[in-house]
Amino acid sequence: MLTTRRQALKTFTAAAIASTALGRISSFAQTPAPAAAPKPPTGPFTLPPLPYVYDALEPSIDAETMHLHHDKHHAAYVNKLNEALAKEPSFVVAPGSNVDDLLKNLATVPESIRLAVRNQGGGHSNHSLFWQTLSAKGSAPTGALAKALDADLGGLDKVKAEMAKLGAGVFGSGWSWLVLDGGKKLTLIALPNQDSPLMEGHYPLFGIDVWEHAYYLKYHNLRADYITAIWNIVNWDFISKRYDAAMAA
């Protein structure tokens, strides 16, 4: 009795699968060719060009990493941010808007796309700053920033050591940051994923991207070696000016 039932069940199941498969095949055959996929949105945000050639940061950061990091990874953050915003057309972001304003006001973004804006918008903002804070020839902090690094954080050597420690301590992906806090004091923090310091009420001055895509081709698992090398190509002239502008604001 039991065996018979089992056999019947097996037969029924096999028949059901066969009929489902046939049904799929016939409905697939009758489906008209789909219309061309809609083109992905091209705005409101666009990928900024690198401010130097791809091999400018050699040997600290290799050209192939720069190609992938900028042309693929950063581009993907921009595209996915635009795609997310396209899902909520009632939430209008004008072309030319600054992604940083979105991140500072994340609570105003519709909940259905808030996480996407946080991740993809954070990625766009963080990388847009990252490229500008690096240059072929490194420099040293100057002026008010140099004084503040001494006064607030005990000097550049301590900053380097602490940012390396924070970067090494990021489990998985994230960034090690030099920021201005709400009281305009220099502070060092680590943030996970593409979270922006702007979301925490901080103003980002310089971040070290410790995602594996930032270093793995050249440094493999040696994140600490990548962080050590990056100090050779930090554009402190740019960061010093960014600090001055933020203090004057």
Residues forming contacts to Mn ion in the complex (CB under 5 A) are 209, 211, 214
> Residue 25 Cβ, how far from Mn ion at the closest point, in Å?
44
Q: What is the dihedral sign for C-alpha 77, 57, 175, 156?
A: negative
The tokens of 12 are what?
A: 């029924």
* Residue 124 C-beta: closest distance to Mn ion, Å: 11
Hey, CA dihedral for 249, 46, 97, 88, is it positive or negative? negative
Query: Smallest gap, in angstroms, from Cβ of residue 172 to Mn ion?
Result: 13
Number of alpha helices (DSSP H) and beta strands (DSSP E) in the chain = 11, 3
Hey, which bits of the chain come out as E strands? 174-180, 186-192, 203-209
Using the minimum distance from each CB to Mn ion, give the nearer residue, 82 or 125. 125
Cβ at position 123, least distance to Mn ion in Å: 7
Q: Which is nearer to Mn ion, 195 or 209 (CB)?
A: 209
Question: Looking at beta carbons only, is 148 or 177 nearer to Mn ion?
Answer: 177
Q: How far is CA 73 from CA 22, 27, 106, 213, in A?
A: 42, 38, 22, 8
At residue 20, what is the residue type? Answer: T
Nearer to Mn ion, 152 or 212 (CB): 212
